């Protein structure tokens, strides 16, 4: 593969996001274009709604009217996506689609990166990113699914629990 697939944003009619995503997937599978269009997503979040004293989990679209497509942009892939029923076009100036930057993809949570955790509860870790760089403490709790670690750090003679993201910490080197 000469070019790497990038994330693009496709504008759709409101309420047609899932239908557009499904139709793109069908065309990709039927034409064997999985190498050019590997992923299609409609970013959603699960929200707990309370109505009439009843709580229920509801899946809500993060960006109504938009579908994220990871694709290698060329005339064929542009034409395929652009001509899906319910699709009104790509996001970008004029008719030129602009790919999302890596920072935008990370912020939007479109692509989840797997973070390997090489420390456990009770281990000593060093803070390598954020406002508390240079501090170290003992791991009290790890929640890989929600990407956070609770670390007990000694500040001003007091034990203080502080929450970090998984990638903000590294296992402290033992001094053996």
The arithmetic mean of pLDDT across residues 63-68, rounded, is: 92
pLDDT at 164 exceeding the cut of 60: yes
Bridge-partner residues for 10, per DSSP?
67, 90
pLDDT at 114 exceeding the cut of 80: no
Q: The domain at 6-108 falls in which architecture?
A: 2-Layer Sandwich (3.30)
Can you read off the two tokens belonging to residue 23? 């139709």
Q: What are the residue ranges spanned by the domains of the chain? A: 6-108, 124-171
The arithmetic mean of pLDDT across residues 70-87, rounded, is: 92
Tens digit of pLDDT for each residue in 14-24?
Answer: 899 999 999 99
Q: The domain at 124-171 falls in which architecture?
A: Roll (2.30)
The arithmetic mean of pLDDT across residues 26-42, rounded, is: 92
> Which DSSP string do the residues of 126-167 spell out, in sequence order?
EE-SSTTTT-EEEEEEEETTTTEEEEEEEETTEEEEEEEEGG
- Full-prediction pTM beyond 0.75? no
Residue 98: phi and psi, rounded to 5, are -115, 125
**In what order do the strands lie in the sheet containing 39-41?**
39-41, 66-71, 6-12, 87-90
| Contact (Cβ atoms closer than 8 angstroms) between residue 43 and residue 105 | no
């Amino acid at each position: 593969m000469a070019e790497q697939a990038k994330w693009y944003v496709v504008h759709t009619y409101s309420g047609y996001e899932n239908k557009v995503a499904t139709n793109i997937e069908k065309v990709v599978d039927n034409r064997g274009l999985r190498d050019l269009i590997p992923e299609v997503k409609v970013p959603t979040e699960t929200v707990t709604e309370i109505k009439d004293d009843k709580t229920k989990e509801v899946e809500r679209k993060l960006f109504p009217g938009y579908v994220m497509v990871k694709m290698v942009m060329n005339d064929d892939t542009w034409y395929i996506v652009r001509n899906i029923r319910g699709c009104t076009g790509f996001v970008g100036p004029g008719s030129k689609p602009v790919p999302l930057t890596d920072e935008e993809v990370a912020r939007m949570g479109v692509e989840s990166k797997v973070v390997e955790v090489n420390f456990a509860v009770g281990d000593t870790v060093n803070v390598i990113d954020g406002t508390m760089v240079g501090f170290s403490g003992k791991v009290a709790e790890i929640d890989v699914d929600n990407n956070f670690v609770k670390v007990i750090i000694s500040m001003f003679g007091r034990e203080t629990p502080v929450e970090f993201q998984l990638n903000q910490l590294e296992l402290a080197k033992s001094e053996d």
